[in-house]
């Protein structure tokens, strides 16, 4: 990734995200962005889209949902920094006609731009203007196609992964929805699973190999 400060204003981008963060009630410091190229600055609409899509994946239940914890802003930042190998050049065999228009010169994919087009296309119009139940139905189908066994490569896999990371590594996601024990203090090698028992976000081996 280029380390040059390209033409776009980092301050502007950071400012935009900060406003966005403010609207979500999360600290702006959590979405610090540095050294990113102009073309990686998401538009307002892309920011709204990824926030919405994140919340469709992990909605509020008896614990906060993705929108409550600012997952969209995390995904935008993560994509800009290339987490989950999202800045890696795509292998030539993976570049279909549907993906080619969204490639950067370095061969990597503009995930948010792709997502915006793909969802609008699935919606036959403006995805964000659909009712929530329609958006749920559209995204369910979109997700099912991408995640089906033997499905061709889809950038959705990486985006979905980042949505999960954004949620389950947030404090509510990691410690309310799941259990977080920094210092278990003991090893119990065989205990029964009780009804409602939550998985651990602090089982680091499971996080790695899960």
Pick one of 21, 50, 78, 118: the residue that binds another protein (CB under 8 A).
78
Q: Smallest gap, in angstroms, from Cβ of residue 67 to another protein?
A: 13
Rounded distance between C-alpha atoms, residue 146 and residue 154, angstroms:
6
Q: Smallest gap, in angstroms, from Cβ of residue 179 to another protein?
A: 10
Pick one of 10, 45, 48, 81: the residue that binds another protein (CB under 8 A).
81
Is 168 a binding residue for another protein by CB under 8 A? The answer is yes
3-class state of residue 111 by DSSP:
helix
Rounded distance between C-alpha atoms, residue 11 and residue 7, angstroms:
11
- CA distances 192 to 45, 176, 196, 199, Å, are 47, 21, 12, 13
Is the Cβ–Cβ distance between 18 and 83 less than 8 Å?
A: no
Pick one of 45, 48, 95, 169: the residue that binds another protein (CB under 8 A).
169
Q: Smallest gap, in angstroms, from Cβ of residue 171 to another protein?
A: 4
Q: Smallest gap, in angstroms, from Cβ of residue 23 to another protein?
A: 19
Which parts of 23-62 interact with another protein (CB under 8 A)? 30, 32, 35-36, 56-59, 61
Rounded distance between C-alpha atoms, residue 2 and residue 87, angstroms:
11
């Amino acid at each position: 990734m280029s380390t040059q400060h390209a033409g776009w204003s980092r301050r502007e981008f950071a400012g935009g995200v900060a406003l966005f963060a403010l609207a979500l009630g999360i600290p702006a410091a959590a979405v610090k962005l540095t050294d990113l190229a102009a073309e990686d600055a998401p538009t307002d609409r892309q920011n709204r889209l990824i926030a919405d899509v994140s919340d469709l994946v992990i909605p509020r239940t008896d614990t906060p949902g993705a929108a409550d914890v600012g997952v969209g802003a995390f995904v935008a930042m993560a994509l800009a920094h290339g987490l989950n190998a999202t800045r890696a050049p795509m292998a030539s065999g993976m570049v279909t006609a549907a993906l080619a228009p969204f490639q950067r010169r370095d061969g990597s994919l503009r995930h948010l731009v792709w997502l915006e087009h793909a969802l609008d296309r699935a919606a036959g119009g403006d995805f964000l203007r659909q009712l929530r139940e329609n958006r749920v139905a559209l995204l369910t189908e979109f997700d099912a196609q991408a995640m089906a066994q033997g499905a061709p490569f889809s950038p959705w896999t990486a985006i979905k992964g980042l949505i999960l990371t954004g949620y389950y590594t947030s404090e509510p996601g990691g410690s309310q929805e799941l259990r977080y024990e920094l210092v278990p203090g003991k090893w119990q090698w065989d205990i029964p699973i009780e009804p409602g028992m939550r998985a651990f976000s602090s089982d680091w081996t499971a996080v790695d190999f899960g």
